[in-house]
Structure 1
Amino acid sequence: MKEKGSTLVPFLADRQRYIILAIGTLCIAAIASNMTVINFTMICMAKPVNSSALTSNVEADNLAYSNKQKSIIMWAAAVGTLAAAWPFHWFYTQFGARSVFFAAGVVSTLSTAVMPLAAEVHFNFLVVARFFQGVSFGADFAAIGLIVVNWASLKQHGLFISLLSSFSQISVMFTMPVAGELCESTWGWQSVYYVHAVLSGVLFTAWLYFYRDNPTKHPQMTEIELEKIHRGKGDVKEHEKAPIAKILTNSVMLAVWLSAFGELMMSQFIVMYGPTFLKEVLGFAVNHTGYFVAVPRALHLAFKIISGVASDRIQFWSEKTKMRIFNTIALMVSGAFFCILGYLPKEQAHLSLVALLVIECSTGFICGGFYKCATLVARQHSHFVLSQIQFIKCLSLFIEPLLVFLICSHNTLEEWRIVFLTHGILLIVGNIIFCYFATDEPADFTRSATGEEMTDVPPERRRLTENEA
Structure 2
Amino acid sequence: MSSSDTYETKLDAARCNFVFWNRTRIYIILMTLTCLTFIQMNTLTFSFSVICMHDVMEDSRLNSTHWFSQTTEKSIIFSGAAIDGLIGLLPSVPLISFFGFKSVLVFYGIISSLGTFMFPMAVFSGFYISLLCRILQGFGSAIIFTAVGVVPGIWAPKSEANTFMAVLSCAYQLSNIVCMPVSGILCESVLGWRSIYYLFGSLTLMIYILFWFTYSDNPEDNRFISQEELSQITCGKIEKIKEPVPYISVCKDPTVLITWLSCFGGSMGFYILSLYGPTYLREVFKFEIKATGFLTSLPFVLAAVSKLSAGRLSDKLTFLSEKARFVFFAAISQMGLAGGMAVMAFTTNRLLAQVAFNFAIVCSGMNIMGVIKCAQLRCQQHVHFTLAVISFTGYADQFLAPILVRVICPDNTSQQWSILFYFVSVLVVLCNLGFPSIAKSEAADYTKPRTQKTDKF
Which of the five TM-score ranges fits, normalised by the shorter chain?
0.7 to 0.9
How many angstroms apart in 1 are the aligned matches of 2:311 and 2:83? 31
Matched residue, 1:22: 30
How many angstroms apart in 2 are the aligned matches of 1:365 and 1:450? 36
Matched residue, 2:55: 47
What is the total number of aligned residue pairs between the two structures?
433
Cα pair distance change 1:415/1:327, threshold 3 Å: same
Matched residue, 1:247: 250
Cα pair distance change 1:387/1:211, threshold 3 Å: farther
Output the amino acid matched with 1:131: I
Output the amino acid matched with 2:144: D
Whether contact under 8 Å (2:220, 2:230) holds in the other structure is no
Is 2:68 the partner of 1:65? Answer: yes
Q: 1:26 deviation in Å?
A: 0.8
How many angstroms apart in 1 are the aligned matches of 2:330 and 2:194? 42
Alignment of 1:266-415 (within 5 A): 266-275=269-278, 277-278=280-281, 283=285, 285-286=287-288, 290-339=293-342, 341-342=344-345, 344-346=346-348, 350-407=351-408
Q: 1:132 deviation in Å?
A: 1.7
Give the one of 232, 235, 239 matched to 1:234: 239
Q: 1:22 deviation in Å?
A: 1.0
How many angstroms apart in 1 are the aligned matches of 2:378 and 2:83? 30
Give the one of 126, 137, 146 matched to 2:141: 137
Cα pair distance change 1:424/1:41, threshold 3 Å: closer
How many angstroms apart in 2 are the aligned matches of 1:42 and 1:284? 15
Matched residue, 1:53: none
Whether contact under 8 Å (1:42, 1:64) holds in the other structure is no
How many angstroms apart in 1 are the aligned matches of 2:451 and 2:18? 34
Q: Secondary structure at the match of 1:235?
A: strand
Whether contact under 8 Å (2:102, 2:215) holds in the other structure is yes
Output the amino acid matched with 2:359: V
Q: 1:223 deviation in Å?
A: 6.6
Q: 1:436 deviation in Å?
A: 3.3
Q: Secondary structure at the match of 2:102?
A: helix
How many angstroms apart in 1 are the aligned matches of 2:279 and 2:342? 18
How many angstroms apart in 2 are the aligned matches of 1:326 and 1:255? 16
Output the amino acid matched with 1:234: E
Matched residue, 1:171: 175
**Cα RMSD between the aligned structures?**
3.8
Cα pair distance change 1:203/1:250, threshold 3 Å: farther
Which runs of 5 or more residues in structure 1 are unaligned?
Answer: 49-62, 456-469
Whether contact under 8 Å (1:77, 1:133) holds in the other structure is yes
Output the amino acid matched with 1:198: S
Is 2:120 the partner of 1:112? Answer: no
How many angstroms apart in 2 are the aligned matches of 1:415 and 1:242? 45
Q: 1:70 deviation in Å?
A: 2.5
How many angstroms apart in 1 are the aligned matches of 2:363 and 2:226? 37
How many angstroms apart in 1 are the aligned matches of 2:427 and 2:235? 37
How many angstroms apart in 1 are the aligned matches of 2:347 and 2:46? 35
Tell me the TM-score normalised to structure 2 length: 0.79
Q: Secondary structure at the match of 2:55?
A: coil
How many angstroms apart in 1 are the aligned matches of 2:439 and 2:203? 39
Q: 1:183 deviation in Å?
A: 4.8
Tell me the TM-score normalised to structure 1 length: 0.77
Cα pair distance change 1:363/1:42, threshold 3 Å: closer
Q: 1:414 deviation in Å?
A: 6.8
How many angstroms apart in 2 are the aligned matches of 1:450 and 1:372? 26
Cα pair distance change 1:92/1:250, threshold 3 Å: farther
Output the amino acid matched with 2:208: F
Matched residue, 2:4: none
Q: 1:447 deviation in Å?
A: 3.8
Output the amino acid matched with 1:263: G
Q: Secondary structure at the match of 2:239?
A: coil
Is 2:85 the partner of 1:81? Answer: yes
Q: 1:116 deviation in Å?
A: 3.6
How many angstroms apart in 1 are the aligned matches of 2:79 and 2:422? 26
Once the two structures are superposed, what CA deviation does each residue of 1:144-169 show, in whole Å capped at 9, x if it has no partner? 22224433456545423332222232
Alignment of 1:422-461 (within 5 A): 422-448=423-449
Q: 1:253 deviation in Å?
A: 2.4
Q: Secondary structure at the match of 2:68?
A: coil
Q: 1:221 deviation in Å?
A: 6.0
Whether contact under 8 Å (1:158, 1:312) holds in the other structure is no
Is 2:109 the partner of 1:101? Answer: no
Cα pair distance change 1:280/1:77, threshold 3 Å: closer
Cα pair distance change 1:381/1:215, threshold 3 Å: farther
Percent identity between the aligned chains? 30
How many angstroms apart in 1 are the aligned matches of 2:81 and 2:311? 30
Cα pair distance change 1:376/1:208, threshold 3 Å: farther
Greater shift, 406-415 or 261-270, is seen at 406-415
Cα pair distance change 1:112/1:272, threshold 3 Å: closer
Whether contact under 8 Å (2:183, 2:293) holds in the other structure is no
Output the amino acid matched with 2:362: C
Greater shift, 30-39 or 307-316, is seen at 307-316
Cα pair distance change 1:76/1:154, threshold 3 Å: same
Q: 1:350 deviation in Å?
A: 4.2
Once the two structures are superposed, what CA deviation does each residue of 1:30-65 show, in whole Å capped at 9, x if it has no partner? 1112222333444565439xxxxxxxxxxxxxx992
Matched residue, 2:61: none
Matched residue, 1:465: none
Output the amino acid matched with 1:360: I
Whether contact under 8 Å (1:264, 1:396) holds in the other structure is yes
Cα pair distance change 1:201/1:276, threshold 3 Å: closer
Q: 1:446 deviation in Å?
A: 4.0
How many angstroms apart in 1 are the aligned matches of 2:235 and 2:263? 28
Is 2:198 the partner of 1:194? Answer: yes
Cα pair distance change 1:64/1:432, threshold 3 Å: closer
